[in-house]
Amino acid sequence: MNRLVIFDLDGTLLNTIADLAAGVNHTLDTLGLPQHTIGEYTLMVGNGMRKLVMRALPENLAADDAFVDSTLAQFLDYYAAHIDVYTKPYPGIPELINALSTEGYKLAVASNKIQEGAEKLISKFFPGIPFVAVMGNSPLYPLKPDAALVEYIMQKAGTDRTNTIMVGDSGTDIQTARNAGIPVIAVSWGFRPRHELTSADHIADTTDQLHHLITQ
C-alpha cells in the first residue's frame, strides 16, 4: 500500500495541553507575571512555541522581541524536562495507530512542536510504530500552515497528493492541507472549537469514525 496519513500531534494524537500550560505558567511565575488557565491555553497553541509564549505574555512585553526570546528560552528549558508529566494519548488513539500500521498505511507526524519534543513523545507513546517521519519545528522548514513539512514527508514516503491525507484539530492543520493540495480530516476532541473545523473535508468525533474516514 502506498497511502500516507499525516497526523498533527498536539490536540490530535496526544493531549499535551496540561504540560504546555504548566510549563508556561512556571515561566510566568518566575518572572512575576500573571498566569493563565488550561482553557485559555487551548486558544494560544497551534502556531509554534514562540507564538505560545507571546500570547501568554502581557501585550507590552509580547512586543519586546528580546524579552520574548529570553522567556521562550526559559520555557523551553523547563518544558523539555517536564514534557510528559501529564501528557497522554487521547482514548482510542494507540489502537487506531496500531490498526492503521497493521493495515499497511504509511504514518507520519507534522507538528509545530519542538523537534526533540515531538520525537520524544512519539517514541514514548507509540513504540514500535514505523513512522515514515516525525517532523516538528526546526530551522530547516517553516511552521505550519506552510506546506513545506507535508511536502517533505510526501517526498520521503514516496507518496503523491492523491494518496495522502492529513488529520488535525485546528484551522492551522486545515490550511496546511489546503496549501499542500491534500484532503484533511479534522478531529473534534482537540484544542480548538468545532466552528474552526467546518472547512475540513470531514470532521471525526471518535477514533472509530476517524478510522472509517481514513480507510473508506
Q: Which helix (H) or strand (E) holds 203?
A: strand 202-204
Beta bridge mates, 164: 4
201 has catalytic annotation: no
Q: Report the pLDDT averaged over residues 68-80.
A: 97
In this structure, CATH architecture of domain 4-15+87-215: 3-Layer(aba) Sandwich (3.40)
Q: Which one-letter amino acid corresponds to residue 175?
A: Q
Does residue 92 contact residue 206 with C-beta atoms inside 8 Å?
A: yes
- Burial label for 61, CB within 10 Å (0-12, 13-18, 19+), is middle
Q: Which of 124, 122, 147, 146 has its CA nearest to residue 132? A: 122
Global pTM exceeds 0.85: yes
Mean pLDDT in residue range 157-165? 97
Going by pLDDT thresholds of 50, 70 and 90, the confidence category of residue 138 is confident
Cell 496526544 belongs to 14
The SS3 of residue 124 is helix
For residue 178, count CB atoms less than 10 angstroms from its CB and return exposed for 0-12, middle for 13-18, buried for 19 or more: middle
Given 8, 19, 169, 173, which residue is catalytic? 8
Contact 5, 133 (CB under 8 A): no
Q: Where are the domains of the chain?
A: 4-15+87-215, 17-81
Is the per-residue pLDDT at 192 higher than 70? yes
According to CATH, what is the number of the domain 17-81?
1.10.150
Q: What is the mean pLDDT of the chain?
A: 96
pLDDT of residue 1: 66
